[in-house]
Structures are given as structure tokens and as C-alpha cells.
Amino acid sequence: MDKVISWYIKNKVEKTIGNLEKNNICGLFVNNNFELREKIKQLIPDGSRVGIGDSVTLFDTGIVDLLRNGSYDFLDKYKDGITSEEKKQLYQANFSADTFLSGTSALTEHGELSNIDGNGSRVAPMIYGPAQVIIVVGVNKIVSDLAEAEKRVRNYAAPLDAKRLNKNTPCATLGYCVDCKSPERICNTFVVIKRQFTKDRIKVIIVNEQLGY
């Protein structure tokens, strides 16, 4: 990576982690996916009950495979042949998980997590329930503030996710948000986590990679 770009990213990450810490959120930085997986293994003890939210990032980084092959009680929402009712039960079980992992829609330099969700099954355990929440985020998702976060999600992340999920929404065709009323709309729940009551319950691992949408 170009030295000037590396310097720019380093400064942005340091500022973001500093503000996460002020918000009672633990901020961590790793250089690549290998370091990420090693960090995850350090943070999650064997035998833990582990849930996950819908996340391209967790697949891209190999975290889903790590959980499937590790010594965990993994609440695998992606397993073959799972029914809608079984998936619903896993969503409810996530609230009692020892650790819940997810990506995030955007992370601001002020140390805030901004997410837009379809049915809330991803953001709800972030807010309450699991003893530990681990958020994995690529440097590409760091934005300056909440206004930029919402703009990024509406006009980039959400259209791509709707396309990935084969949703019949305007954004999956146009590539940008028109604040639709489509029955298949995935932008229903807007959640901003500005601070944590319990210090370090949420841990944000920033990866020096371009990850997810």
C-alpha cells in the first residue's frame, strides 16, 4: 500500500479507536484476515455459545468457517436446509449467546456504530443480550459522521445488499435509495449506538482491508 495512504488510514483509525474508547467501546486494529481470526480466537473461549448477524464481512474474512470448525456452540443461521422457523429460534437464542458477532453498516470517526436493518435480528443483539458483542469492520466503512454514515448505507451498502439478496426493490435496480415503500424493503430499522453502558461489552475490530458492503 502507498505510504501516504497508509499514513492517512492510520491517523483515521487511531482517531476512531480513541473515540470508541471514550464511548466505553473497545477498539482494536488488525492488519489482515489472519490477524483477525487469531484475535477472534483470543476473545472467544472454547465452549462459548456464539451467534452471528447477517454479514458479508464474516464470510469474506473466514470467520464463519472458523466458528463452524472451532470448539463452539455455534448458532449457525447459514447451515444447509435450515427452515424459517429454525432460523427464528436461532435469532431468539442470540440474546442468550456468550458472544454475538456481526459487521456494521458504518463506523464514524466519533466512535459511533450506524446500522440499517431489515427485521432487526442483527441490531437487536448488538443493543442488548449477549455478554460480548464483536463487530468486524473494514477500513472502508469508517466515515466522518452520522450524516455520511446514513448516506453511505442508503446509496451504497443497502442497494448492494438488496441486489445480493435478490430483493424486488427500486434500489436493487437503480443502485441508489428512493426511500421506497416496497414490501421487500430492507431499510426498516435505523439504529445508532453512540455509547455503551457496560464498558467494553462491544468490541470493534477494525481490519486494514476493504471488507463487505
**At residue 128, what are phi and psi to the nearest 5 degrees?**
-155, 145
Sign of the CA dihedral 19, 127, 201, 31?
A: negative
C-alpha cell at 22: 471514550
Checking if the pLDDT of 1 tops 80, the result is: no
In Å, how far are 33, 36, 90, 103, 160 from 207, measured between CA atoms?
7, 7, 27, 11, 21
Instruction: Quote the pLDDT of residue 3.
Output: 86
44-86 pLDDT, tens digit per residue, is 999 999 999 989 999 999 999 999 999 999 999 999 899 999 9
Instruction: Quote the pLDDT of residue 99.
Output: 98
CATH homologous superfamily of 3-142+195-207 = NagB/RpiA/CoA transferase-like (3.40.50.10420)
Mean pLDDT value across residues 8-17: 94
Report yes or no: 151 and 106 within 8 Å, Cβ to Cβ: no
Report yes or no: 196 and 174 within 8 Å, Cβ to Cβ: no
Residue listed under C-alpha cell 470467520: 63
Instruction: Quote the pLDDT of residue 118.
Output: 87
Report yes or no: 72 and 96 within 8 Å, Cβ to Cβ: no
CA distance 98 to 49: 5
Instruction: Quote the pLDDT of residue 158.
Output: 87
C-alpha cell at 56: 458479508
Q: What is the mean pLDDT of the chain?
A: 94
Strands in 132-138's sheet, in edge-to-edge order, are 26-30, 202-207, 132-138, 99-102, 49-52, 73-75
Structural domain boundaries of the chain? 3-142+195-207
118-174 pLDDT, tens digit per residue, is 889 999 999 999 999 999 999 999 999 999 999 998 889 888 989 998 999 999 998
Could you tell me the pLDDT band of residue 176, with boundaries at 50, 70 and 90? confident
In Å, how far are 10, 47, 121, 151, 205 from 137, measured between CA atoms?
15, 25, 18, 18, 6
Instruction: Quote the pLDDT of residue 39.
Output: 98
C-alpha cell at 212: 463487505
